[in-house]
Amino acid sequence: MLSQQAVNEINREVNKYPADKKQAALMAALSIAQREIGHLSTEVMDWVAGFLNVPPIRVREVATFYSMYDLEPVGKHKICVCSNVSCMLRGSDEVIQHIENRLGIKVGETTSDGEMTLTEVECLGACGGAPMMQIDDDYHENLTSKRIDAILDQLETTNA
């Protein structure tokens, strides 16, 4: 299911914990699996469950709770706009609207070229920089329409 390199990486995570606490590596294992496969299909989650000797329902609970895990295929870049209280009060609705208009997609959709997926997420712990969004591994704070355009321009240039 996963490459030997990914399995080795998961084993390194597992080895950080006592032998009877393999399940502590669950989140790391899911992240590694998702990075390799692109999303967490039922088959991948079942594989992780078997590898860590964790009930499959437990894996599913974790995978569905955290917004960083994708159960369906997503674009090359994932744009996560926080719409929790601080961000909402500071204009997250406008942020989402601006991105939807620019990309021609709605929240939950992926651009037709498969490059970008737009999602709405709960607090990402950067409330002081509201409104904010996460794109892949980077946080972008104090968003304005101008700033969003600059960030997306940069992303599109990198992809070209």
Please identify, among the stretches 14-22, 34-42, 110-118, 123-131, the one whose residues bind ligand FES according to the rule CB under 6 A: 123-131
Q: Please give the Cα distance from 54 to 74 (Å, whole number).
A: 26
Q: Select from 79, 124, 152, 155 the one that contacts ligand FES (CB under 6 A).
A: 124
Residues found in the chain: 160
On whether the CB atoms of residues 80 and 134 are closer than 8 A, the answer is yes
Closest CA to 54 of 91, 62, 94: 62
Question: Residues 8-37: x/- map of binding to ligand FES (CB under 6 A)?
Answer: ------------------------------
β-pairing, 77-82 vs 116-121, is parallel
Please identify, among the stretches 13-21, 48-56, 60-68, 118-126, the one whose residues bind ligand FES according to the rule CB under 6 A: 118-126
Asked if 126 touches ligand FES (CB under 6 A), the answer is yes
Q: What is the DSSP letter of 79?
A: E
Which residues here bind ligand FES, judged by CB under 6 A? 82, 84-87, 123-127, 130, 132
